[in-house]
Chains A and B, each alone.
Chain A
Amino acid sequence: MTPQSSFMILAPIDPQREAELRRLLASMNDAPGRVNANNRLIPFPRFDTLHVARWLILDDKTIDDGRVYGMPRPTYPLYLTFLGDVDGGADAFLEELAARAPVGLLALFSCCKGFTPETDLVAWMKKHTIPSAAGYVNWRGRTVRRVREEAALREALEQHVQSRARDLERVPPREIHATLRQLVHVDIAAGRLTLSAEGPTPFKWWFGNLLHLIGVPLLLLLASPLLIVVAAIGLVRLRRLEKTDPELCARVDQAYSAGLALLEDHDVSNQFSAMGSLKPGLVRLWTTIFVLWALDYGARHLYTRGRLARVRTIHFARWVFLDGRKRILFLSNYDGSLESYMDDFINKVGFGLNLVFSNGIGYPRTKWLILDGCKDERKFKEFLRRHQLPTEVWYKAYPGLTAVDLERNARIRQGLDSSSLNDREAREWVALL
Chain B
Amino acid sequence: MSTQELFGVTRGEVDYGDVQGLVRFGYKRMSEASYALVRVKSVAAARSWLRSAPISSAATIDPPPSTAMHVAFTATGLEALGVSASVLAGFSSEFLTGMTEASRSRRLGDVGSNAPPHWEWGSSGSVPHLLVMFFAEPGRLDAFVQRSTGDVWNDAFDTLRRLSTGDLGGLEPFGFADGISQPAIDWPQQRERSDGHIAYSNVVALGEFLLGYRNEYDKYTDRPLIDADAASAGLAAAEDAPEKKDVGRNGTYLVMRQLRQDVRSFWQFISRHAGADPAAADTLAAAMVGRTRAGDPLVPIQDHAIPGIGSQPDQIRRNQFTFDQDPAGVGCPFGAHVRRSNPRNTDYPGRQTGLRRLIAALGFGRNRFRDDLMSSVRFHRILRRGREYGPALSPSDALAPAPPNDPERGLHFICVNANISRQFEFLQNGWMMNTKFSGLTGESDPLLGNREALPGCPVTGDFIMQEDGGVRRRVSGLPQFVTVRGGAYFFLPSLRALRYFAGTQR
Q: Which residues from chain A sit less than 8 Å from chain B, CB to CB?
A: 161-162, 165, 168-173, 176, 251-252, 254, 257-258, 261-262, 264-268, 302-303, 305, 307-312, 335-337, 339-340, 343-344, 347-349, 351, 375-378, 398-402, 404-405, 407-408, 411, 427-428, 430-433
- Which residue of chain A has the shortest Cβ distance to B368 in the bound complex? A428
Residues in A with CB closer than 8 Å to B328 are: 431
Query: Which of B360, B367, B422, B471: most chain A Cβ within 10 A?
Result: B471
Question: Quick one: given A262-B103, A265-B106, A268-B436, are A172 and B375 in contact (CB under 8 Å)?
Answer: no
- Which residue of chain A has the shortest Cβ distance to B456 in the bound complex? A400
Question: Quick one: given A254-B97, A339-B421, A375-B217, are A176 and B430 in contact (CB under 8 Å)?
Answer: no
Give chain A nearest CB distance to B105 CB in angstroms.
10
Per the 8 Å Cβ criterion, residues 208-261 of B in contact with A are: 217-219, 221-222
CA distance A308 to B429 in the complex (A): 23
Does chain A have a CB within 8 A of B53? no
Do residues A265 and B219 form an inter-chain contact, with CB atoms below 8 A? Answer: no
Do residues B101 and A407 form an inter-chain contact, with CB atoms below 8 A? Answer: no
Chain B interfacial residues counted at CB < 8 A: 52
Given pairs A162-B474, A347-B347, 11 additional interface contacts (CB within 8 A): A161-B472, A169-B471, A258-B97, A261-B104, A265-B107, A305-B367, A377-B219, A399-B455, A404-B439, A407-B369, A432-B369
Give chain B nearest CB distance to A401 CB in angstroms.
6
Do residues A176 and B107 form an inter-chain contact, with CB atoms below 8 A? Answer: no
Contact for A337 among B429, B457, B474, CB less than 8 A: B429
CA distance A253 to B55 in the complex (A): 35
Contact for A339 among B101, B422, B473, CB less than 8 A: B422
Question: Quick one: given A309-B361, A310-B372, A337-B429, are A262 and B102 in contact (CB under 8 Å)?
Answer: yes
Contact for B101 among A258, A309, A378, A398, CB less than 8 A: A258
Give chain A nearest CB distance to B41 CB in angstroms.
28
Do residues B97 and A267 form an inter-chain contact, with CB atoms below 8 A? Answer: no
Do residues A340 and B375 form an inter-chain contact, with CB atoms below 8 A? Answer: yes
Residues in B with CB closer than 8 Å to A339 are: 421-422, 425-426, 429-430
Give chain B nearest CB distance to A275 CB in angstroms.
22
- Which residue of chain B has the shortest Cβ distance to A154 in the bound complex? B441
Do residues B421 and A404 form an inter-chain contact, with CB atoms below 8 A? Answer: no
Question: Quick one: given A305-B367, A377-B219, are A261 and B101 in contact (CB under 8 Å)?
Answer: yes
Q: Which residues from chain B sit less than 8 Å from chain A, CB to CB?
A: 89, 93, 96-97, 101-104, 106-107, 195, 217-219, 221-222, 328, 347, 360-364, 367, 369, 372-373, 375-376, 379, 421-422, 425-426, 429-430, 434-436, 439, 441, 454-457, 466, 469-474
Residues in B with CB closer than 8 Å to A348 are: 361, 372
Do residues B372 and A312 form an inter-chain contact, with CB atoms below 8 A? Answer: yes
Residues in B with CB closer than 8 Å to A312 are: 372-373
Residues in A with CB closer than 8 Å to B369 are: 407-408, 411, 428, 432
- Which residue of chain B has the shortest Cβ distance to A427 in the bound complex? B469
- Which residue of chain A has the shortest Cβ distance to B349 in the bound complex? A310
CA distance A265 to B430 in the complex (A): 11
CA distance A43 to B219 in the complex (A): 48
Residues in B with CB closer than 8 Å to A432 are: 369
Give chain A nearest CB distance to B226 CB in angstroms.
15
CA distance A348 to B102 in the complex (A): 30
CA distance A402 to B457 in the complex (A): 11
Residues in A with CB closer than 8 Å to B364 are: 302
Contact for A173 among B434, B436, B470, B473, CB less than 8 A: B470
Do residues A408 and B439 form an inter-chain contact, with CB atoms below 8 A? Answer: yes
Contact for A261 among B89, B103, B195, CB less than 8 A: B103
Give chain B nearest CB distance to A309 CB in angstroms.
4
Contact for B455 among A162, A378, A400, CB less than 8 A: A400
Question: Quick one: given A168-B470, A402-B436, are A378 and B375 in contact (CB under 8 Å)?
Answer: no
CA distance A307 to B195 in the complex (A): 22
| Interface pairs (6), CB distance under 8 Å | A268-B454, A339-B425, A375-B217, A402-B436, A431-B328, A431-B466
- Which residue of chain A has the shortest Cβ distance to B360 in the bound complex? A310
Closest 10 CB pairs of A and B: A400-B456, A399-B456, A261-B103, A309-B363, A399-B455, A400-B457, A340-B430, A307-B363, A265-B106, A377-B217
Residues in A with CB closer than 8 Å to B361 are: 309-310, 348-349, 351
Do residues B93 and A430 form an inter-chain contact, with CB atoms below 8 A? Answer: no
Residues in B with CB closer than 8 Å to A308 are: 363
Do residues A267 and B456 form an inter-chain contact, with CB atoms below 8 A? Answer: yes
CA distance A14 to B360 in the complex (A): 49
Do residues B376 and A347 form an inter-chain contact, with CB atoms below 8 A? Answer: yes
CA distance A257 to B345 in the complex (A): 31
Do residues B456 and A268 form an inter-chain contact, with CB atoms below 8 A? Answer: yes
CA distance A187 to B102 in the complex (A): 44
Residues in A with CB closer than 8 Å to B375 are: 340, 343-344, 347
Residues in A with CB closer than 8 Å to B89 are: 251
Query: Which of A172, A173, A378, A431: most chain B Cβ within 10 A?
Result: A431
Give chain A nearest CB distance to B333 CB in angstroms.
12
